[in-house]
Chain A
């Protein structure tokens, strides 16, 4: 089993770029794909990135995913920030028997 650790919160100004990390506690990040979900306030989650780097149809190109073996982490990068991007973001992977979610990162765009 492993855990996925995300920063509790990040904030950035409109038009800027922000990166949200998701660090795997044991095992290698490349061993299992990572997916990213966006949850706006009082709404159900939606998927933004799957299989580490694939963008879901309809998700703006401003959203991108990556993995970094050196830090054993996955990242979600949002460029050209808009106020509508303000939401909680969750990473998710699979540990062989269970789906694992990160604790979530609250993105504030101010």
Chain B
């Protein structure tokens, strides 16, 4: 069974750094892209970017380029999303999801989400 297990909820202060994780199991981690999706409170889904753990190739949404960093450690089947300096506007639930490739690319398995709260 494919599983993506994300790290737990975080409470941080503005300006602090943060790295959240997404551990994959039940499949060959290195051969599927992993994407990250933001959901702000009461809002919809936004694609942030994705990484191919096999060679760490990354692609970012223009809206998130330079705002976050996506990385992966294939030795432990884990993808990461990190911020160098959090802002209150980063408050959201962040989901990782595995990319399935058929005629197109889509998300076939999702993590449970990580709630990030930023407050002074």
Contact = CB atoms under 8 A, between A and B. Distances in A.
Given A90-B45, A98-B47, A102-B44, A51 B61 contact: no
B106 A47 contact: yes
Given A44-B110, A44-B112, A51 B45 contact: no
Given A37-B45, A99-B35, A101-B44, A94 B110 contact: no
B112 A50 contact: no
Interface residues of A, number: 25
B41 to A, nearest CB: 12
Interface of A: 32-33, 35, 37, 39, 44-47, 50-51, 54, 56, 88, 90, 92, 94, 97-104
Given A44-B110, A47-B108, A104 B45 contact: yes
B104 A33 contact: yes
Main secondary structure of the interface of A (DSSP, over half): strand
Nearest to A101: B45
A38 B88 CA distance: 28
Chain B interface residue bracket vs A: 20 to 34
B106 A50 contact: yes
Interface stretch (B10-18, B66-74, B75-83, B95-103): B95-103
B107 A37 contact: yes
A84 B105 CA distance: 27
B62 interface: yes
B53 interface: no
B112 A32 contact: no
A46 B113 CA distance: 12
